[in-house]
Every structure is written in structure tokens, then in C-alpha cells.
Amino acid sequence: MIGKGSSLQNFNIEMFQEDLLGWYDANKRDLPWRKDQDPYKVWVSEIMLQQTKVDTVIPYFHNFLEKFPTVHALATADEQEVLKAWEGLGYYSRARNLQHAVREVVENYGGQVPNNPKELEGLKGIGSYTKGAILSIAFNQPEPAVDGNVMRVFSRLLNIDEDIAQPKTKKLFESVTREVISHEDPSSFNQAIMDLGATICTPKSPACLLCPVQEHCQGYELGVEQQLPIKSKTKKNKKIPYAVLIIRNEQDEIAIEQRPDNGLLANLWQFPMVPIQEMSLELIENWFYAQYGMKIKLGEKQADLNHVFSHLTWELNIYHAKLEHDTREEEKVTFVAEGELNFYPFPVSHLKIREFL
């Protein structure tokens, strides 16, 4: 087992690199952001790939690059347009941070994505993983790009039993990567580890018999690969119930509202949501009148659905409602024709609710 400060004594780094890079050369995944080493494309792809599967990202990546092909195009775009292009991908702060950072690149670095760690890590939304991915993949610098997948692969390869849920463990894996990374081709090395984790050394049932680096793998040799990595349990996911109201006015337009400009799903649009705890229809109507100044008549519940975020779950109870009387002083909600809903960026949960229209 390797702990902090110990060496890679019995690990043949040169042979490992040769086996890994030989396999990668013959088997690498054909991904659109690998067509060239444009740092802007690498950056966009790495932000999209956070918490999101490759197959989901590919069409978004094409669409995003078509709309915002350069740093300048993204920097000058309207935020609502950017959110619209991100609609359905989730974790929308990624899109806002990306645009914020790209604007900094235009203002401070003449539109050139920085090629050094200090400047890159000063940009919003760029953490140690994304920084390492951009520096290695786009600029061919021997920098570690360590995420959960990379920690899993190296946990098994080197029989490391540190808890990967602990932030400090990442540092250990970064120093391990610095020792084993190819200095001739760091770009391929990091991408090869990512591909190995995605296709062979998968979370459940790693395909060790097909693994190109099996003869270097200490976890496999000891028969403990299935027990690695060690990951302590994360906190319980909190459930919050809401009534979601699909309110129509006399013109058959539908009420939508924009979320606040900070916090969860900031600036996205949604159908009005009432936080309910055992609320009757009447209580929901009264709550809505008190908060929005609009009298509504609720119908029976149409459906419910759960939407899981990393730290909480929305339990959404969906109701149709009719606007009966409008005494609004401020425009908390906007009424739009059903066909116009498409012009507004919605989060995934409310895109699903649109199916009930």
C-alpha cells in the first residue's frame, strides 16, 4: 500500500507509460474536442464533462461551439443565450462561471487562454482538475488532472487505500501523477488514464482481463481491485416538497418566473413553485395569493416527480391552475404563450414538467 511520501518502488514507470500510451494510440475514443488541441475547446469540453456523461455532452458541445465558436463570441453573448445553450445539461453555474472566466480572458489576456497554472487557477470555475486538463491536453505540459475517475484508476494500480472522499487525498494522487506522467506526451497520458477509467477500469466490475496495464496493477495482483477505491459515505440527501403550478390566464398563456440571480439554478426560468409541507389546495391558493398577489383556482394534482441534485431532492407535485384575479403590483411572473416557452432557458426538472402541458 502506498501512503503519503512513500515511493513507487516496484512500479516500472517507463514500461507502464509505454503500455498505456500504446493502448491509447490504438484505442482512443473519437471525441469531437480531440480533433485539435484548441485550449478554448478543451476548456468548454472539460467544464461540460464535470458530473456529466460523454454521450450526453457531445451534442451540447457541437451546439455550443456552433453558437460560440471563440472566446470572443462567448464573452460578448447574452447570458440568457448561454443558459439556453446549456439547457438540460444541469449544474448551470458551470455555464455562468465559464462565461465570466472567458470575459476575464478577453479583458486581461487579450483573448488568449493562459498557458500557466497561476493565471488559469485565477479564473472563475477553474479548479485543479480543469487547470491540469487544459495545461496537459491543450499545452502539453506534464500537469496532473485528477478527478474521481483518475483516483479510482490509481487507487487500484498502486493499491492506495486513502479515502478519496477526503479533499486532502487529491493532493496525494496529484503527486503520484506527477511521478508517473509522461513528459514526452503528457496530453495523451492524461487522456489515456481518463479513457482507461471510462472504458476498462470502470467503477463496478473493472475489465482486468482486457486491461493494457494489468501487469503493472498491484490491486489486481493482490485481488483487491474490487474493494478500491476507498470512499466514505457522503451526507444524506435532503428532500424538499414543492407544489409546481401551471397557471393559465384567460388568453391561455402560461405563468413562468425567473429564479434569483444567485444560488441554485440562478437566472433560469421555471413554473411558479410553492414550498409545501402537507398543504391543502386551499392553503396553496392562499399562500400564492399572499406571495404573488394573484388569485388562482387549483385543479387536482396531475403528477409528481422527483429531481435529485447532489445535495438535495425536489419532490415536485404538479398542478394545473386558472388565474382568477390579478392584483399584482410587481411583475413576479410573466405570462407567455405555450409556443414561446422555448425561448426561455429552463432547468431539467421544469423541462420535464413541460411535458404535462
Q: Binding residues for ligand SF4, per CB under 6 A?
A: 153, 156-157, 200-201, 206-208, 211, 213-214, 217, 219-220, 225
Nearest approach, Cβ of 210 to ligand SF4 (angstroms)? 8
Q: Using the minimum distance from each CB to ligand SF4, give the nearer residue, 155 or 188.
A: 155
Gap between the Cα atoms of 311 and 276, Å rounded: 19
Give exposure, 98-128, as e/b (b: 16+ Cβ within 10 Å): bbebbbbbbeeeeeebbeebebbeebebbeb
Gap between the Cα atoms of 264 and 98, Å rounded: 16
Half-sphere exposure (CA, 13 Å, Cβ side) for 350?
25
Nearest approach, Cβ of 246 to ligand SF4 (angstroms)? 48
Residue pointed to by grid coordinates 492524461: 190
Gap between the Cα atoms of 112 and 40, Å rounded: 9
Q: Using the minimum distance from each CB to ligand SF4, give the nearer residue, 44 or 228.
A: 228
**Nearest in space to 155 (alpha carbons), one of 143, 170, 168, 144:** 170
Q: What is the SS3 assignment for 108?
A: helix
- Please say if 46 is a catalytic residue: yes
Q: Using the minimum distance from each CB to ligand SF4, give the nearer residue, 49 or 213.
A: 213
Nearest approach, Cβ of 218 to ligand SF4 (angstroms)? 8
The cell for 330 is 410587481
Gap between the Cα atoms of 173 and 334, Å rounded: 50
Gap between the Cα atoms of 176 and 221, Å rounded: 19
- Which residues are CB-contacts of 125 (< 8 A; sequence separation ≥ 6)? 47, 93, 94, 97, 98, 100, 101
Burial of 191 (0-12, 13-18, 19+ CB in 10 A): buried
Q: Using the minimum distance from each CB to ligand SF4, give the nearer residue, 23 or 314.
A: 23
Q: Using the minimum distance from each CB to ligand SF4, give the nearer residue, 95 or 213.
A: 213
The cell for 227 is 474493494
Nearest approach, Cβ of 151 to ligand SF4 (angstroms)? 12
Nearest approach, Cβ of 229 to ligand SF4 (angstroms)? 10
Which helix (H) or strand (E) segment holds residue 342: the answer is: none
Q: What is the SS3 assignment for 251?
A: coil
Q: What is the SS3 assignment for 147?
A: coil
- Pick the catalytic residue: 18, 46, 107, 324? 46
Q: Using the minimum distance from each CB to ligand SF4, give the nearer residue, 65 or 151.
A: 151
Nearest approach, Cβ of 11 to ligand SF4 (angstroms)? 12
Gap between the Cα atoms of 348 and 346, Å rounded: 7
Gap between the Cα atoms of 193 and 197, Å rounded: 6
Q: Using the minimum distance from each CB to ligand SF4, give the nearer residue, 19 or 285.
A: 19
Nearest approach, Cβ of 157 to ligand SF4 (angstroms)? 5
The cell for 235 is 451526507
Catalytic residues: 46
